[in-house]
C-alpha cells in the first residue's frame, strides 16, 4: 500500500500565541505550495493557518545562513517568571540587544491615522515630563552602554512642548545616532523648524513618514492628503541637508505597488539616505478596513514586500536584498551607491560571511566604520574587471571605470524592510531575536516593539497580560539561559 503523505513538508515546531486570546499555543512550521505556513491550535479558539513567507528559499536563507552569535544587553531588566512573551523585558532569555530603541515622548499627535500601532491622536493629551524622558533615556544607556540608535517617537514627538529640550537631553548622552520619527507636519509648516533641527546635526536623522504619492492612499492610511506636506517637508530637509530616511507603511492592495516609485523618488532627494518599508502590524488602531482587518485579505509578509521591491525596482536582484543577521527573519536590507547615474547595488557584491561577522550596529551597517570602509573599498581600483563577476563590471561601468573622487558616506543608500511580528505570525524563536525595542514609560524596562504593541502598551498589560499570566502560565521561575554557564557536564542542584 502506498504511504499516505502529508500535503506539506514539515520543517519545525515552535511556540506561538492565539491571535484571539494571545495565549501561548503549540505551533508547527510547514512548507506547502511554495509558501511557509504556521499551523497552530488554541484550545479555546481552534486551529489557525498563517502565511509566514511566500518564498521558502529566502526563509531558509534567513534561518540557516544568516545567523550570528547573539549580542546581549549589559543587564536584563526583568526576571523570567512566566516564560516568553510574558516577562518583557529585556529578560535574561532575550537573544539580541536593542539595535534601535524608541523613546515615546508623547501620546499626542497632530494627525489621527486610521492605522496606528500606538493608538495616538489629537484626543490624547499626555506628554511625558522631561524628568520621565530622562529616566527613559538613562534606561536605554544603562541597557546598551552606548545605544546605537535612539529614536524619539510618540505620538508625534515634535508636538511635545519641550521637544528641542528633549533633543538636548539625548545629545548629552552617549548615543550613536539620534533619530526623530515624525510625520513631517511641523517641519513642513513651521518656518525655521528644520533649521532648529539642523543645529543637532551631524548625529541627528529624520525618520519621515512617507507612504504614498496618491491622495486616496494617504487618506486611507493617514486620514488626510499629505502630499503637499511631504513636498514642503522634503524641500526643507533638502535645504538644511538633514539626513532623512523615508518610512513607508505598506498595506496590501493599497500602496504595495508604489515601492519602486518611492525608491526612485528617494534617490532624487539629496537629503534622503534610505527607505524603510514596514507592512502594517496588526496591533493598536486598525480602522478603515472594510468589515475589519482580515488576516487573509490584508496581512502582508516581508517576503511579499521583498518580491514587490524586486519587481518594481529592477536595479535590485534577489542577492542584493538580504536578511539582517541580528534578526534575520524580520529585517531585510539592501545597500546601494547613490550616484548621479542612479543606484548601484552593493550588498550582492559582499560575501554574506562578512556581513554576518560584522560589527555591533547591525541594522545600520553603514554606521559601523569598518563596514563603511568595506563598502567604499569595493570600488577601489585594485579590483580588476576580469577577475570579478559581471556584477562588479556592471558596477565599474556605471562608475565610468574610475571611482568618483568624493565618494563617501553620503553616497550610501539603504533599503530596509522591517516586518513587525503580529499575533498571527508570532514565533517565539523570532521574538527572542527582535532588536527594535521600546523603552517603557516607567523607565525601568525595555520591551520588544512587537510584544509591546500586543501585550504591554498602555492598558494592555493590566487588561490582557495580567489575566494571561494568572490563568494560563505555569511559572518558569528562572531563565533558560543562565547569566554564566556552568561546566556543560554539570547541572545545578
Partner 1 sequence: MNAAGQTLASCCAELYELPIVEYLLGRSFHPGGAKLTRQLASGALVSPNSAVLDVACGNGNSARLIAADFGATVTGCDFSAINLRRAAATSRSTRLDVKTQFVRSSAEQLPFAAGSFDVSLCECSLCLFENMGNALEEVHRVLKPGGRIGISDFFLDAPVPGSLDGLLGRVLCVAAAESADGYREALTRAGFECVRIRIVNWTLADMIERVQHRLHLLATVSVSPRPVLPVEWGDPAPVLEDLESFIASGGAGYLIATARRF
Q: Which residues bind partner 1 (CB under 8 A)?
A: 32-35, 54-58, 307, 310-311, 314-315, 317-318, 386, 389-391, 394
Residue closer to partner 1 (CB basis): 29 or 246: 29
Residue closer to partner 1 (CB basis): 106 or 301: 301
Residue closer to partner 1 (CB basis): 33 or 123: 33
Contact predicate 363/149, CB 8 Å: yes
Instruction: Catalogue the E-assigned strands of 202-308.
Output: 204-209, 244-250, 272-279, 285-286
Helix axes 302-312, 259-268, angle to 10 degrees: 60
Helices (H), 401-448: 428-431
CB of 59 to partner 1, least distance (A): 11
**What secondary structure letter does DSSP report for 379?**
T
CB of 35 to partner 1, least distance (A): 6
CB of 186 to partner 1, least distance (A): 40
Nearest to 455 by CA among 18, 15, 22, 13: 22
Name the burial class of residue 481, with classes exposed (0-12), middle (13-18) and buried (19+) by CB atoms within 10 angstroms of its CB. Answer: middle
CB of 7 to partner 1, least distance (A): 9
CB of 64 to partner 1, least distance (A): 14
How many helices (H) and strands (E) in the chain? 17, 18
Q: What are the backbone angles phi and psi of residue 193, rounded to the nearest 5°?
A: -70, -45
Three cell numbers at 469?
499570566
Cα separation of 301 and 421, whole Å?
Answer: 10
Residue closer to partner 1 (CB basis): 32 or 269: 32
Instruction: Catalogue the E-assigned strands of 123-271.
Output: 149-153, 177-182, 204-209, 244-250
Residue closer to partner 1 (CB basis): 210 or 316: 316
Contact predicate 44/18, CB 8 Å: yes
Residue closer to partner 1 (CB basis): 372 or 398: 398
149-153 vs 100-104, strand pairing mode: parallel
Cα separation of 174 and 101, whole Å?
Answer: 13
Residue closer to partner 1 (CB basis): 131 or 351: 351
For the chain, the residue count is 493
Three cell numbers at 292?
475589519
Residue closer to partner 1 (CB basis): 222 or 308: 308
CB of 304 to partner 1, least distance (A): 9
DSSP assignments along 176-198, one per residue:
SEEEEEE-SHHHHHSTTHHHHHH
Residue closer to partner 1 (CB basis): 36 or 416: 36
Amino acid at each position: 500500500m502506498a504511504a499516505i503523505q502529508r500535503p506539506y513538508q514539515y520543517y519545525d515546531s515552535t511556540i506561538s500565541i492565539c491571535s484571539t486570546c494571545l495565549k501561548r499555543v503549540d505551533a508547527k512550521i510547514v512548507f506547502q505550495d511554495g509558501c511557509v505556513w504556521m499551523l497552530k491550535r488554541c484550545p479555546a479558539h481552534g486551529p489557525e493557518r498563517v502565511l509566514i513567507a511566500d518564498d521558502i528559499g529566502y526563509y531558509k536563507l534567513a534561518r540557516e545562513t544568516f545567523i550570528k552569535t547573539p549580542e546581549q544587553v549589559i543587564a536584563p531588566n526583568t526576571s523570567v517568571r512566566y516564560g516568553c512573551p510574558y516577562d518583557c523585558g529585556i529578560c535574561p532569555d532575550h537573544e539580541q540587544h536593542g539595535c534601535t530603541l524608541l523613546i515615546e515622548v508623547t501620546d499626542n499627535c497632530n494627525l489621527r491615522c486610521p492605522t496606528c500601532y500606538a493608538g495616538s491622536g489629537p484626543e490624547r493629551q499626555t506628554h511625558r515630563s522631561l524628568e520621565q524622558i530622562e529616566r527613559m533615556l538613562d534606561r536605554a544607556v544603562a541597557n546598551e552602554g552606548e545605544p546605537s540608535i535612539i529614536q524619539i517617537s510618540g505620538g508625534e514627538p515634535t508636538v511635545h512642548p519641550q521637544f528641542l529640550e528633549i533633543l538636548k537631553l539625548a545629545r548629552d548622552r552617549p548615543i550613536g545616532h539620534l533619530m526623530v520619527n515624525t510625520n513631517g507636519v511641523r517641519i513642513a509648516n513651521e518656518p525655521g523648524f528644520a533649521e532648529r533641527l539642523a543645529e543637532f546635526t551631524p548625529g541627528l536623522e529624520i525618520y519621515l513618514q512617507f507612504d504614498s504619492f496618491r491622495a486616496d492612499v494617504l487618506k486611507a492610511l493617514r486620514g488626510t492628503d499629505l502630499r503637499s506636506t511631504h513636498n514642503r517637508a522634503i524641500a526643507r530637509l533638502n535645504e538644511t541637508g538633514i539626513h532623512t530616511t523615508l518610512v513607508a507603511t505598506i498595506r496590501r492592495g493599497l500602496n504595495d505597488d508604489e515601492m519602486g516609485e518611492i525608491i526612485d523618488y528617494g534617490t532624487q532627494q539629496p537629503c534622503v539616505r534610505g527607505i524603510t518599508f514596514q507592512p502594517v502590524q496588526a496591533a493598536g488602531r486598525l480602522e478603515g478596513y472594510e468589515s475589519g482587518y482580515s488576516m487573509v485579505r490584508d496581512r502582508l509578509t516581508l517576503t511579499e514586500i521583498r518580491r514587490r521591491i524586486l519587481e518594481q525596482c529592477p536595479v535590485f536582484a534577489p542577492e542584493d536584498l538580504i536578511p539582517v543577521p541580528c534578526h534575520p527573519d524580520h529585517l531585510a536590507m539592501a545597500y546601494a551607491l547613490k550616484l548621479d547615474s542612479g543606484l548601484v547595488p552593493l550588498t550582492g557584491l559582499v560575501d554574506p560571511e562578512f556581513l554576518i561577522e560584522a560589527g555591533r550596529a547591525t541594522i545600520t551597517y553603514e554606521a559601523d566604520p569598518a563596514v563603511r570602509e568595506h563598502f567604499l573599498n569595493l570600488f577601489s581600483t585594485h579590483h580588476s574587471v576580469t577577475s570579478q563577476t559581471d556584477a562588479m563590471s556592471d558596477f565599474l561601468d556605471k562608475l565610468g571605470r574610475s571611482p568618483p573622487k568624493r565618494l563617501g558616506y553620503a553616497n550610501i543608500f539603504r533599503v530596509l524592510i522591517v516586518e513587525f511580528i503580529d499575533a498571527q505570525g508570532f514565533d517565539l524563536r523570532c521574538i527572542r531575536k527582535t532588536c527594535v525595542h521600546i523603552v517603557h514609560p516607567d523607565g525601568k524596562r525595555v520591551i520588544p516593539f512587537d510584544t509591546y504593541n500586543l501585550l504591554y502598551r498602555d492598558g494592555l498589560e493590566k487588561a490582557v497580560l495580567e489575566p494571561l499570566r494568572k490563568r494560563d502560565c505555569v511559572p518558569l521561575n528562572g531563565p533558560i539561559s543562565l547569566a554564566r554557564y556552568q561546566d556543560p557536564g554539570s547541572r545545578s542542584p
